[in-house]
Amino acid sequence: MRAAADTVEKAAGVTLSPVSEESSVPDVLGKVTSGEADAGLVYATDVKGAGGKIKGIPFDESGKAVNTYPIAPVGSSRSKELAAAFIAMVTGADGQKTLGEAGFGALSNLPP
């Protein structure tokens, strides 16, 4: 998360001076949802996962700190068909709908 915060800080041209720095996004989220912190930098998926306990505020610079989650079968897998089926499910319409509802963005850079 620190890398994402640094990226956003640089993109916005600001210097952040946090009162505390947590070691993980769930820790930040916990401080905000409990009222220990007035604000915190978390991912959009974490805002959605908080079930309305917090309010997310979108900002343009957040687009500079996007995580990529690769998906691929393990070459030495003994369950190649199962791995392929899982990847097809995740990358298919239903999987993408479910991930979108959780706040994840659309697929990109898929091989043909």
- Are 47 and 103 in contact, with CB atoms under 8 Å apart? yes
Residues 84 and 40 in one domain: no
Biggest CA-to-CA distance, the chain: 50
**What's the predicted TM-score (pTM) here?**
0.72
Residues 9 and 57 in one domain: yes
- The number of beta carbons lying within 10 Å of the beta carbon of residue 48 is 14
Phi, psi of 40 (to 5 degrees): -160, 160
pLDDT in tens, the chain (112 residues): 678 888 989 999 999 888 888 989 899 999 999 999 999 999 888 999 899 999 999 898 888 888 888 899 999 999 999 999 999 999 999 999 999 988 888 877 655 5
Residues 54 and 94 in one domain: no
First to last CA, the chain: 32
The range of the structural domain enclosing residue 73 comes to: 69-112
- Are 40 and 29 in contact, with CB atoms under 8 Å apart? yes
